[in-house]
Amino acid sequence: MAITAQDVARLREDTGAGMLDCKKALEENDGDFDKAKARLREKGFAAAAKRADRESNEGIITSYIHHNNRYGSLVEVNCESDFVAKTDQFKTFCNDVALHIASMAPRYLSREQVPAEVVEKEREILRAQVDPKKPKEIQDKILDGKIQSFFGEVCLLDQPFVKDSAKTIEQVRAEAVGVIGENIVIRRFTRYDLGGE
C-alpha cells in the first residue's frame, strides 16, 4: 500500500511524533493507521522507560485558571534541559496537565503517595460492598479491582486524561517523553477551589 504525505501528516497530528517516525510506522504496518498509532505509542513508552533514570532539574511551573475564575491549578513539570523547557511541545504538555488537575481534582500525584491508612480505610469501605456469598478468591479480585478504580480517581498519574479518556496521565507523559526525547517528571501540583480549604 502506498503511504501518502496526507497519511503521514494525519498520524503526526494525532501522535505528535516526527514525520520520519510516522512514515516508518505506517510502512511497518502496511498503512494501517491504528496499528501505526499503537506502534508509535509503544515506542514512546520504550523511550520513556530508557530515560526514566535521567536527572530532570529544568522545567516550568505553569497554571490554569478556569474561565469562571472559581478553580485552578499550579503544576511543576521538570525536564532535562532548559532548551526543552522552552519548546511549544513541552509547554503544551504542561498546560494540558494543569487543565487536567483543575478539572479532575486529583488528591495525590501517584499511588505511592497515598497514605497507607487512607488505602486501608478505603479497602474497608469497599469490602463492605462486596457480596459475602461469593468465594473468597472472587471477593479478593473484586476488591482489588475496586482499589485500582479508587487509585484511578484520586491519583493524577492513574486518572484518565480529561482530553482523551482512553489514556491515563502517565500514558500521556510517556508519549510526551517519546516525542520530546527527554525525561519528563510531573513533580508536584496544587489545586485551588474558590472558598475551599
Confidence of residue 78 (pLDDT cuts 50, 70, 90): very high
C-alpha cell at position 101 = 488537575
- Give the CA angle between residues 134, 135, 137 to the nearest 5°: 125
Inform me whether the pLDDT recorded for 144 exceeds 80: yes
Quote the mean pLDDT of the chain. 86
pLDDT of 33 reads: 84
Residues 143, 126 contacting (CB under 8 angstroms): yes
Residues 179, 45 contacting (CB under 8 angstroms): no
pTM above 0.95, yes or no: no
- Give the CA angle between residues 74, 16, 37 to the nearest 5°: 120
Let me know if domain 5-51 sits in CATH 1.10.8.10. yes
The owner of cell 474497608 is 124
Residue 59 has phi, psi (to 5 degrees) of 135, -160
Confidence of residue 45 (pLDDT cuts 50, 70, 90): low
pLDDT of 18 reads: 64
58-109+155-193, CATH topology level: Tetrahydropterin Synthase; Chain A (3.30.479)
- The pLDDT tens digits for 113-141 are 999 999 999 888 887 887 778 888 887 78
Residues 43, 15 contacting (CB under 8 angstroms): no
Q: Domain-by-domain residue ranges, the chain?
A: 5-51, 58-109+155-193, 115-153
User: In terms of DSSP H, where are the helices of 16-71?
Assistant: 19-28, 33-51
How many whole angstroms from its chain centre is CA 43?
16
Q: What is the mean pLDDT of residues 20-42?
A: 82
